[in-house]
Amino acid sequence: MGGADEIRPTKRRPEPLVSNSTKSRGGTRRPSEAPPPVKRRSRAARHPLILAANLVIFLIVLVLIGGGALLLLGRQAYVAAGPLAEDVGVIIDRGASVEAIAAGLEERGIITNRYVFLAAAYGTGATRRLQAGEYLIPAGASMEAVMDHIVSGRVVRHAITLAEGLTSAQIVARLNESDLLSGRIDSIPAEGSLLPETYQVTRGMSRQRLIETMQTAQARVLSEIWANRDPSVPLSSPEELVTLASVVEKETGEPDERDRVAAVFINRLNRKMRLQSDPTILYGLYGGDAWAQARTIYRSDLERPNPYNTYQIDGLPPGPITNPGRQAMEATAHPAETNELYFVADGTGGHAFAVSYDEHQRNVARWRDIERQRGTAAN
């Protein structure tokens, strides 16, 4: 025991349970890679106010995107062709709200979406510029085109024709019958103060305003004709020209005879002869209703007291017997150059003219024959 070699335990470093190194193929060990550090959110990022702000921003962006999409869709609908298959008339009442207008247009099938129309009206400021009136909306008109029509006031215009030779009472009666016009006429205008013509009116225009338009037109035309009249015409004022022109107007319906009829009356005035015009008798008896229906003039009518009866009075009647047109006034201001003093109907719608009384009597006899023949044929 004492001589034997003493066996002592070998001291070894204990091996770790987990090795920090790996062996290479050559047997050598190399250190292993360290694991990545764990990232932790800061406490500030998790603050409720920050979270709320982020949510608000998200919602704003979402709204902006959605609003932009709606705006784009609305714009496309606004400019797209409309549903109308044919032209349609529409009346925008005075004082109507934009909401009522949009609803009415949608109900009529003129626009496809009232809300798009309203949005455009408010967005462009058109709500303050919509105009009342009657409009003709063309087929396929977009909402944009409909809006433009109503904002621009391109209303429909209607023609009202008032023929030459109507009395002021007749003109007022015809205007009162028109369903295009509105309001009342204050009073029957003076005879001869209205210019018979075709007038363009808009639906709802007041009757009194049209009367005033006719009076203004008559004053303007009369002023021009009077300023350019033949100075040899024995008339002392524009009013006398209108009076004589009204007689010419009722004596003939043939345009190419007006200056010749005017010449006969001018020649008679120059010779101090009475005009002897049948229409003046009727106006003196019946006033503005004289031409409401055809009336036969009897010899007793010639003898009845009548301030307009040019068989009884000298010179012109006291005023016009109708409202003469421009052509009758022009003919009176520039009568034909002739010595004729008489005329009578010739059975064709015109007249036979004569210089002497004997010739006139022959023309009258022929007219009487025509009347008798017509009477026989009628029976």
DSSP assignment of 164-201 equals TT--HHHHHHHHHH-SS-BS--SSPPPTT-S---EEEE
Q: Residue 10 carries which DSSP code?
A: P
**Residues 148 and 256 both lie in one domain:** no
pLDDT at position 65 is: 58
**Residues 272 and 172 both lie in one domain:** no
**Residues 212 and 346 both lie in one domain:** no
252: in domain: yes
**Residues 146 and 212 both lie in one domain:** no
Three-state SS at 160: strand
pLDDT at position 125 is: 87
Neighbours of 362 (CB within 10 A): 13
Q: Could you give the C-alpha distances from 91 to 83, 102, 111, 261, 365, in angstroms and in order? A: 18, 12, 15, 48, 60
| pLDDT higher than threshold 90 for residue 199 | yes
Q: Could you give the C-alpha distances from 220 to 85, 194, 215, in angstroms and in order? A: 45, 11, 9
User: Of 220, 253, 271, which residue is a domain's last?
Assistant: 220
pLDDT at position 15 is: 45
The predicted model gives 119-139 an average pLDDT of 88
Per-residue exposure over 242-252, b if at least 16 CB sit within 10 Å of its own CB, e if not:
bbbbbbbbbbb
**Residues 310 and 246 both lie in one domain:** yes
**Residues 284 and 314 both lie in one domain:** yes
- Are 310 and 269 a contacting pair, CB within 8 Å? no
What does the alpha-carbon distance between residue 203 and residue 180 come to, in Å, rounded to a whole number? 5
pLDDT at position 297 is: 84
| pLDDT higher than threshold 60 for residue 8 | no
**Residues 110 and 173 both lie in one domain:** no
Per-residue pLDDT tens digits for 37-55: 555 555 555 556 665 665 5
**Residues 163 and 144 both lie in one domain:** no
pLDDT at position 124 is: 86
CA contacts within 13 A on the Cβ side of 362: 6
32: in domain: no
**Residues 180 and 129 both lie in one domain:** no
71: in domain: no
Per-residue pLDDT tens digits for 85-105: 999 989 988 888 999 999 999
- Averaging pLDDT over each range in 56-70, 71-85, 99-113, 281-295, which range is the top one? 99-113
pLDDT at position 72 is: 59
319: in domain: yes
User: Of 220, 242, 261, which residue is a domain's last?
Assistant: 220
Count how many domains the chain has.
3
**Residues 96 and 125 both lie in one domain:** yes
- Are 163 and 287 a contacting pair, CB within 8 Å? no
| pLDDT higher than threshold 60 for residue 12 | no
Q: Could you give the C-alpha distances from 105 to 87, 136, 183, 281, in angstroms and in order? A: 14, 12, 27, 57
What does the alpha-carbon distance between residue 151 and residue 102 come to, in Å, rounded to a whole number? 13
41: in domain: no
Which two three-digit tokens encode residue 61?
């962006």
CATH number of the domain encompassing residue 114: 3.30.1490.480
Query: What pTM was computed for the model?
Result: 0.75
**Residues 369 and 239 both lie in one domain:** yes
pLDDT at position 335 is: 97
303: in domain: yes
20: in domain: no
The predicted model gives 218-242 an average pLDDT of 97
37: in domain: no
% of the chain surpassing 90 pLDDT = 53
At residue 319 the predicted structure's pLDDT band, cuts being 50, 70 and 90, is very high
**Residues 265 and 361 both lie in one domain:** yes
| pLDDT higher than threshold 50 for residue 158 | yes
Output the DSSP codes for 225-279: HHHTS-TTS---SHHHHHHHHHHHHHH---GGGHHHHHHHHHHHHHTT-----HH
Per-residue pLDDT tens digits for 262-307: 999 999 999 999 999 999 999 999 998 888 776 788 888 888 889 9
The number of residues making up the chain comes to 379
User: Of 220, 249, 266, which residue is a domain's last?
Assistant: 220
H-type helices in the chain, by residue range? Answer: 48-79, 98-107, 114-124, 143-152, 168-177, 207-227, 238-251, 258-270, 278-286, 299-303, 326-333, 357-378
| pLDDT higher than threshold 80 for residue 62 | no
Domain span at residue 254 reads: 233-378
| pLDDT higher than threshold 80 for residue 142 | yes
Three-state SS at 67: helix
What does the alpha-carbon distance between residue 138 and residue 117 come to, in Å, rounded to a whole number? 17
**CA nearest neighbour of 75 among 29, 15, 123:** 123
The predicted model gives 204-215 an average pLDDT of 96
The predicted model gives 339-365 an average pLDDT of 93
pLDDT at position 3 is: 44
Contacts of 151 (CB under 8 A, 6+ apart): 126, 129, 130, 131
At residue 7 the predicted structure's pLDDT band, cuts being 50, 70 and 90, is very low
Q: Of all helices (H) and strands (E), which one includes residue 157?
A: strand 157-161
